[in-house]
Amino acid sequence: MRRLSKSEQELGRDRSVRDLLPENLRLLLVGINPSLSSGATGYHFATPGNRLWPALHQSGLTDYQLDPSDTAELVRTRIGITNLVNRATRSAEEVLDEEMVAGAATLRRLIDTCRPSIVAILGLGAFRIAFDQPSARIGRQLESCGSGALWVLPNPSPRNAYYTVPRLVELLRPIHGALEHLTGAE
């Protein structure tokens, strides 16, 4: 996906990005909120340099490195994407705590409807606020989220430089393993 100019990105401000929810959802990825690039293009995790796409592939969750526009391939893999807050901003710091809490309630209803096997929230700080879990850590959580096992992972944004692609891959591999186990049980 090409890098948008700042003026093109600004066209995405406050826009929403449609949820990607395949049938028989295996994995639901939950972003904090869309970036301006995502708001402008209508594709999730569309900021160039976002680590999600290479990490999904290198962890084995996708057969090749997808582009944000490869929604048909993502649907084929039964991976969906939504956001806690569906309002595009330049950074997640622009999202209010109240919006995240309201987003968690909306997410719970969506999960009850879609029934994913695994829910992965991509943003530890956002999870702590939205779900009132101030001591939560990265990884699988003890509680579930509706029908699905709950994982919390780092935000894959290029702004979160501490979590490199190899580190994200390490964190996604157990999810891949859990999904493979579930698929074998189907």
Residues 22-76 pLDDT 10s:
999 999 999 999 999 999 999 999 998 899 999 999 999 999 999 999 999 999 9
Give residue-wise pLDDT tens across range 164-183: 999 999 999 999 999 998 87
The pTM assigned to this predicted structure is: 0.94
Residues forming beta bridges with residue 148, ordered by sequence position: 145
Mean pLDDT, the chain, integer: 93
> SS3 for 143?
strand
CA atoms within 13 A on the CB side of 82: 21
Q: 8 burial class (0-12, 13-18, 19+ CB within 10 angstroms)?
A: middle
Compute the average pLDDT of residues 89-108: 96
Q: What is the CATH number of domain 6-185?
A: 3.40.470.10
